[in-house]
Structure 1
Amino acid sequence: MAELNSLIETAQRYAQEDPNPSTTTLIEQWITNAKAGDGAAIEDLRSRFGTTLEFGTAGLRGKMEPGTARMNRVMVMRASWGLGQVLKTTTQGTPKVVVGFDGRRQSRQFAEDTCAVLNGLGIEVCLFMDPVPTPLCAFALLHERANAAVMVTASHNPPDDNGYKVYWGNGAQIIPPIDSEIASAIQKAPLVSEMRRPTPPEAHKQGLRHMLSDSTAEAYLDEVLKRAFHPQASSNSDLRIVYTAMHGVGGRLVQRALHRAGFQGVTVVSAQADPDGHFPTVAFPNPEEDGALDLALATAKEVDAHVILANDPDADRLAVAYKDGDGYRMLNGNEIGVLLGVDALFATKGKVKNPLLVNSLVSSTWLGHIAKQEDVAHAETLTGFKWIANTAMQRLQDKGDNFIFGYEEAIGYTVGDLVRDKDGVSAALQFAQMCARLQNDHSDPIQELKRLAVKYGLVGTLQWSKRPNGKTGQRRIQQILTGLRTNPFS
């Protein structure tokens, strides 16, 4: 009974904060049914209000439903208040935050709530007008010389999820102790109803709200094209490309990048070209999942494409399939990473002093072996691009190493330091240009992998995944992680 009373108290307090009137009615119904002994209603309360959605280095991510353990407007506004408090104590003058959002349901609303809370704390915000790729938001942070950025996205999670991703002033995702400082501040957040939240016109009048136009995207594309490795190869290439945005936000930028680079043979999977948070043509909006690229493969066969390029919904990842005989071979994340890494290495040879290649420890050791044989600096980091980006910056400061490429096997790559996070847009262009270069040399990515194996030695990898569901699954995950920490692989 004590647990139920505590759940009811938490749920009632939450209902007072949620701006959605229908939420109050829903929670009252759960409470009434729970008091009557309805087991399902009690479990509803327990799953939604028994814990609090934790803020960590990945920010927030969860299912969009009412509750302290879910992703919703209340939790977004609490997180924004906590972020604002930390910015005010660590920034000289008025802090500035870039805010972006993807095409998922409620993403725009969450972005507006973020802006309102930050504006209420006297913090300046620069908000994108339309849904944007995550790498564009990360680019804008440095471009606008802001102190932080918030990207509302759940990346390639299921359709009912959303998330809140935070970058710091150095351009990378937050790392300890910043995450714990924000989490501690969130615990002190007042009721949402007590937070000052000026309207957009009020915030604009106070000089605290600015809208980011297409000029930001143009500045990003200018830099991507300026840093491209093989402009001559793409300017007259007959490479046939099929591209899919996977119902996400990468389509406009990727198409513009490819067009400006000279690729004219680009076919877009029209059924997946526009942002749609329901992801109607895929069971799971992750290009690595079985069946996710079925439409792209069918389109590629129709136009006899050489290569398929696929972004995940927020366009920070890139999947690739290349024509192999009568079909197409999916390249895994390690193969794409090694191809792009070697391409970057030799394209910058003699042009970049002390080049540095980086990958995470869950990725293949192949790139590291190649770097060693080429006498080039290489670093291996913890899992997550925040560590890749921060390691690159630290190595530049400590040793003068200049970062040229980093990747993680979960199809995340970044070429150079333009964006200090995964960037599926620039990676798509770089891979297309690499294909054009290889085509001019009467080769292709599959043949190039064989050449690299012969020259440097082959490192085999095998990808296997299992998704434990529910509380039982979460407990099993924790048991596995505890076991690995206690008895790590030697």
Structure 2
Amino acid sequence: MSEHGGDRARAEAWLGQDPDPETRAELRALLDDPAALADRFGAKLEFGTAGLRGELGAGPNRMNRVTVMRAAAGLASVLTSRDDLRESSGGVSVVIGYDARHKSDVFAEDSAAVLTGAGVTVHLMPRPLPTPVLAYAVRHLGCAAGIMVTASHNPPRDNGYKVYWEDGAQIIPPLDQEISTAIDAVGRVDELPRGTDWRVLDEAVVEAYLRSLARLPLGTARDLTAAYTPLHGVGGAVLAQAFAWCGFPEPDVVAEQAAPDPDFPTVAFPNPEEPGAMDLALALGKGRDLVIANDPDADRCAVAAGGRMLTGDEVGGLLAEYVLRHTDGSDRLVATTIVSSSLLRAIAAEHGVRYAETLTGFKWIMKAGTDRDRLVYGYEEALGYSVGGDDGVPVHDKDGIGTALMVAAMAASAKESGGTLLDLLDDQARRYGLHATAQLSVRVEDLSVIADAMARLRESPPGELAGRTVTEVDDLAEGLDGLPPADVVRLRLSDGGRVIVRPSGTEPKLKCYLEVVVPVTSSPEEARTRATGDLTALREAVADALGL
């Protein structure tokens, strides 16, 4: 059988089990298009530590009802095979959340039907809600696992499927591979038993989440003016509730972006980090103390003050110090990823608390430390933060709503003392040196370019970069200092800065994370000007060293 004949046969078999009239119609129209069939049936979405994520459409290389039901059946197989869960008095239970993207509600109900049919007790969220509400609900309800149907800040045509385990954190290896293997063993989805008696939760689950946030160390200052955008996502209503519960004035919301809209009509890319995404919020925020944005599933939080966006590392440093000043105990732990700023290490040392570094991704941050540690704060430079108090972090994942509250508390406290968030940044720069970060990100058509660049870096690492001596080269291919193996090379520099190079896990990109540390000898502004020039020179030197 020709390759096209094989793809067509697979497509016809798919048509026989697909319950969705939209994707059936799409696929029928493509049966005589070899290239389109090869794109949809020549590969499949791989289930990994981020679950599934991809473009909506028919076939195993797309997000659709068949793909989702297979994922739910694989997860059910793993859960029901665990003796400790099967024999417990409560049995196996799963909570399912979903955002407002195209088909998210359908995918959530399909998952509920398949899991219920497999004998799993299912709790379904009452409406489209932020990802951190789902992550919180896993532990709050005592579930064995959680599912969140979301593609976070991906383009409108995408959707995704994230899996959480009983600790309320995203799954890590080897559990992801175990679930992936179980998914591969699933037969036709039209032969799966489907239940109907799942439980639809009420607003009590949202209120429990809000109560947990109200216990954060938010101080007493409440005089604050703020602008906010949920970027057409699901964060708006819950953030407004959170601010009201905790006594903060409700922010003014960007009207054009206030309602959930899966087409994200006002932004080219619904990610606060993307150029232009924050323009409407920044315009609304002129003259206000604070501008806040969530991404569409509200697990990330972007911040602007004084007319400029703060970087993820700048917010990360400010939040770290605020949390540590409002918590106690020698068992406190703060954690971040290897690509985030080294400033957190200095802050932890100053406050006498434990510090941990992990691989990229919040799934690793939540596994940081030991059983003796109490994680009170974790962050990654890509606008992800988990903030806590003396009880630890209430959400075992990044939480854009809790972060917005903590940023509001920090800004209100600074205002009460006659300052701003920018003043707090200057204070940190004076104490720890200015830690300035930037990225070099190279998108490629040919993946061999990335492989060649990584091989070149490993075989002939540079001795100096932009006038800075490379003092240490760390290759994480075999693991390092307790970190799992990863395709990452880290170069430490003589000024305390560093360069980290790794392939992107989700896109055909090579990503380089740059940091310089500049002492403040006259003013923080002078140090920032110098750091900007240093980062530009470092970016050029790294590109040359990689042959890019």
For the 8 Å contact 1:285–1:292, the answer to whether it is kept is yes
Aligned equivalents of 1:111, 1:483: Cα separation in 2: 45
2:373 is the alignment partner of 1:388: no
CA distance in 2, matches of 1:329, 1:367: 22
Are residue 321 (structure 1) and residue 321 (structure 2) matched?
no
Query: Taking CA–CA contacts closer than 8 Å with sequence separation of 6 or more, which of the two structures ends up with the larger relative contact order?
Result: 1
Alignment partners' CA distance in 1, 2:218 and 2:23: 53
Aligned-pair distance for 1:474? 5.6
Q: Which residue of 2 aligns with 1:267?
A: 252
Among 350, 355, 366, the residue aligned to 1:373: 350
- Aligned residue type for 1:270: A
Alignment of 1:466-485 (within 5 A): 466-468=442-444, 472=445, 476=449
* 2:43 paired residue number: 51
SS of the residue aligned with 1:391?
A: coil
* AA partner of residue 307 (structure 1): L
- Pick from 207, 219, 222 the counterpart of residue 218 of structure 1: 207
The one-character-per-residue Cα deviations of 1:166-196 (angstroms, maximum 9, x if unpaired) are: 0001111001111111100011101011011
Which residue does 1:227 correspond to in 2?
216
1:346 aligns with 2:321: no
How far apart are the structure 2 equivalents of 1:473 and 1:156? 25
Distance 1:487 1:293, change over 3 A: closer
Residue 123 and residue 242 in structure 1: after superposition, are their counterparts in 2 closer, same or farther (change >3 A)?
A: same
1:335 and 2:314 are equivalent in the alignment: yes
Counterparts in 2 of 1:401 and 1:186: CA distance versus 1, 3 Å: same
> Which secondary structure state, in structure 1, belongs to the residue aligned with residue 147 of structure 2?
strand
Residue 109 of structure 2 is aligned with which of 104, 109, 112?
112
Output aligned runs, 1:18-33, within 5 Å.
18-32=18-32
Q: Does the C-alpha gap of structure 1 residues 171 and 242 become closer, same or farther in structure 2, counting only changes over 3 Å?
A: same
One-letter amino acid of the structure 1 residue matched with residue 355 of structure 2: H
**Paired amino acid for 2:119:** G
So what's the TM-score if we normalise by structure 2?
A: 0.80
1:95-244 matches, within 5 Å, as 95-198=92-195, 200=196, 203=197, 209-230=198-219, 232-234=220-222, 237=223, 239-244=224-229
Identity across aligned pairs (percent)? 45
SS of residue paired to 1:130? coil
SS in structure 1 of the partner of residue 75 of structure 2: helix
Which residue is 1:35 aligned to? none
Retained in 1: the 8 A contact 2:240–2:250? no
TM-score w.r.t. length of structure 1: 0.89
Change (3 A) 1:25 1:211: closer
Partner Cα distance (1:260, 1:487) in 2: 43
**CA distance change for structure 1 residues 478 and 118 in 2, over 3 Å: closer, same or farther?**
farther
**Counterpart residue number, 1:311:** 294
What's the CA shift for 1:46? 1.2
| Stretch of structure 1 that moved more, 292-301 or 54-63 | 292-301
Structure 1 residues 313 and 11, CA gap change in structure 2 (3 angstroms): same
The range that moved more, 448-457 or 474-483, is 474-483
How far off is 1:226 after superposition?
Answer: 1.5
Alpha-carbon offset, residue 382 of structure 1: 0.5
Task: Report the Cα offset of residue 263 of structure 1.
Answer: 2.0
**Per-residue deviation at 1:331?**
0.2
Looking at structure 2, the residues matched to 407 and 489 of structure 1 have their Cα atoms a distance apart, in angstroms, of 19
What amino acid is aligned across from residue 301 of structure 2 in structure 1?
L
- 8 Å CA contact 1:307, 1:321 repeated in 2: yes
Kindly indicate whether the alpha-carbon contact (under 8 Å) linking 1:78 and 1:189 is maintained by their aligned counterparts in 2.
yes
Query: Structure 1 residues 55 and 459 mapped into 2: Cα distance closer, same or farther (>3 Å)?
Result: same
Q: Please name the residue that 2:6 is paired with.
A: 6
CA contact (8 A) 1:155 1:314 kept: yes
Give 2:62's match in structure 1, choosing from 57, 64, 70. 70
Which runs of 5 or more residues in structure 1 are unaligned?
A: 33-40, 204-208
Going from structure 1 to structure 2, the CA distance change for 1:12 and 1:180 (only over 3 Å counts) comes to: same
| Residue 427 (structure 1) aligns with | 403
Matching residue of 1:488? 489
Q: Structure 1 residues 294 and 133, CA, compared in 2 at 3 Å: closer, same or farther?
A: same
Please state which structure has a larger fraction of its residues in helix: 1
CA distance in 2, matches of 1:480, 1:195: 46
Unaligned runs of at least 5 residues, structure 2: 458-476, 478-486, 492-548
* 2-structure distance, mates of 1:65, 1:179: 24
Q: Hey, what does 2:373 align to over in structure 1?
A: 401
> How far did residue 476 of structure 1 move?
4.9
Cα deviation digits, residues 381-431 of structure 1 (max 9, x gap): 011000000115xx2x1xx22111000000000012201000000000000
Instruction: State the shift of 1:353 in Å.
Output: 3.4
CA distance in 1, matches of 2:22, 2:240: 41
Task: Check 1:340–1:289 CA distance in 2 against 1; reply closer, same or farther (3 A cut).
Answer: same
- After superposition, the Cα gap between the structure-2 partners of 1:483 and 1:316, relative to the gap in structure 1 and judged at 3 Å, is farther
- AA paired with 2:378? G
Match for 1:404: what amino acid? V
Give the structure with the higher percent strand: 2
Amino acid in structure 1 at the alignment position of 2:74? G
Contact 1:373 1:456 in 2 (8 A): no
Which is worse superposed, 43-52 or 160-169?
43-52
Cα 1:424/1:25, change in 2 over 3 Å: closer
Deviations 1:62-105 (A, max 9, x none): 00011111111100000000000000011224210000000101
Amino acid paired to 2:165: W
Q: Which moved more, 1:1-10 or 1:436-445?
A: 1-10
Pick closer, same or farther for the CA change 1:71–1:473 going to 2, 3 Å.
farther
1:418 counterpart letter in structure 2: P
Q: Paired residues, what number?
A: 454
Tell me, what secondary structure is at the counterpart of 1:356? Answer: strand
| Higher mean C-alpha deviation, range 70-79 or range 369-378 | 369-378
* 1:141–1:429 distance in 2 versus 1, CA, 3 Å: same
Match of 1:414 in 2: 386
8 Å CA contact 1:64–1:161 kept in 2: the answer is yes
SS of equivalent residue, structure 1 residue 30: coil
Distance 1:487 1:285, change over 3 A: closer
Alignment of 1:74-93 (within 5 A): 74-90=66-82, 91-93=85-87
**8 Å Cα contact 1:229/1:344 also seen in 2:** no
